[in-house]
Chain A
Amino acid sequence: MSKKFTKDHEWISLDGDVATVGITNYAQEQLGDVVFVEVPETGQQVAQGDDAAVVESVKAASEVYAPLSGEVVEGNAALEATPELVNQSPDNEGWFFKMKLSDAGELDELMDEAAYDAFVKELG
């Protein structure tokens, strides 16, 4: 399945009922050099919009919100030692966490790639 996107610049890639969540290339460009990432613990229940992860650049700390509701099944352990993966490979190796969705209907609220690209373009 193709990726879905939020207005908070997260991407979601669905495999069955498990969604992989990361931040977009636009988001990592805005953040600048990422120096620390805190991912959620396996088993953590999150509701759509909850704080789920923390990403810190040299400049500032930012929250990453749960784009959907469900249970965290894995955090990306590689980000602990190599947070710069978020800059180097935001769409792939720099993923943040995987979650098992509790309400697949929430997916319909998200943007597809064309809609997200248009959204980013409007931001200038």
Chain B
Amino acid sequence: MASQTAPQQNPLQTTALHGLHFSLGAKMVPFAGYDMPVQYPLGVLGEHLQTREKAGLFDVSHMGQARLVPVNAADDAAEIFEQLVPGGIKTLKNGHMRYTQLTNEQGGILDDLMATRFDNDLWLVVNAACKDNDFAHIAAALQGQATLDIQHRALIALQGPLAVQVLQRLIAGVEDLVFMQAAWLTWQGHEVLVSRCGYTGEDGFEISVASQQAEDLAKALLAEAEVEAIGLGARDSLRLEAGLCLYGHDIDTTTTPAEADLLWSVPKRRRAEANFPGAAIINQQIENSPTRLRVGIQPQGRAPAREGTQVQNQAGQDIGTITSGGFGPSVGGPVAMGYVDSESGQIGTQVNLIVRGKPMPATITALPFVPQRYVKG
């Protein structure tokens, strides 16, 4: 609908690496309210393969970081936080992290996030587009029990099979971490929080660094022969091949962790306690199996099937929708994920994707499309 007055354009926010992106020749796009690099001169394909084969540096400073601190020092922020998420958080060992979701009373997902325990505190990393709402929700829900100390730090991801050998040259001790473990280490006298995790399916790290030191650290990493800067375009194709959800596309307030095939992140203890938002609905879905399920979908031809593409069974009936789809450079062909009716969702089922009005054959496939190469303890 046309409006009488021009819409108010909020100026885009920038990260501490904004100037560096320009000097590297990045193509910039608006993303979650930030002016972010979608690709560098290497291009999405080259950046994707670089990350799978060597190491890629990503600016993920737009994501939200916060420390959850118990009001009473003797209390445990991890235990308190379990009121809002279905994950096993209080059982985290010191310096270890887990993936979980903030749920609503309907079992829908408000956001997905990483939580790391440091003694009685919990370090949270949430999605950029959701961070303001997340932090308001957490602070209000846990008022009187814990306070949220929002961190205005940069976040740099270094991903790929050579990430560890590069990073240990700069920051001693990173090689001792295993997948989903984090530690406060030192880089040139500055405290950095290094977590062995990521969003590409590869081994790698996320480094939380004070904004003032972020550009120097990024430049030091880019000066290493194995490292190239990687934009949001390749970040998306990397995480899609790895079968990882993108909030707002593959999961949102209308999808539950059960439907999204994320029950591996909901331990038996939490299901039995049923004391997180939406527990009754999620437990009911676990018992009866949800009516729809997130699955991998591999088109048989070369044409990518994009988000929103209809999925039909062999009889021509609608059975679902693609929520993420594109070209997988490491797979060498199109890859997608989406929701289909559970009865139709068996691995190996032949389906049709309606692309530009024509049915295109595809197969329901196990996720991920490429093997995850995490370094586990």
Contact = CB atoms under 8 A, between A and B. Distances in A.
Contacts of A33: 43-46
Interface stretch (A39-47, A53-61, A95-103): A53-61
A80 B233 contact: no
A36 B43 contact: no
Contacts of A61: 304, 306
Contacts of A56: 303-304, 327
A86 interface: no
B51 to A, nearest CB: 13
A58 B302 contact: no
Interface residues of B, number: 18
Contact of B237 (A54, A58, A60, A80): A58
Nearest to A80: B302
A38 interface: yes
Contacts of B334: 35-36
Contacts of A36: 302-304, 327, 334
B38 interface: yes
A36 B335 CA distance: 13
A32 B302 contact: no
Contacts of B44: 32-33, 57-59
Given A32-B39, A32-B233, A36-B327, A58 B303 contact: no
Interface string B36-52: 00110001111010000
Contact of B356 (A54, A57, A58, A83): A54
A59 B233 contact: yes
A54 B306 CA distance: 13
B304 A35 contact: yes
Interface in B306-328: 306, 326-327
- Which of A38, A58, A59, A60 has the most B CB atoms < 10 Å from its CB? A58
B306 A58 contact: no
B329 interface: yes
A24 B306 CA distance: 25
A57 B38 CA distance: 13
B158 to A, nearest CB: 22
Interface string A56-75: 11111100000000000000
The 8 lowest CB-CB distance pairs between A and B, nearest first, are A33-B45, A35-B327, A58-B44, A58-B327, A36-B302, A36-B303, A33-B43, A56-B304
Given A33-B45, A35-B302, A61-B306, 12 more contacts: A33-B43, A35-B45, A35-B304, A35-B334, A38-B303, A56-B304, A56-B327, A57-B44, A59-B38, A59-B44, A60-B306, A83-B302
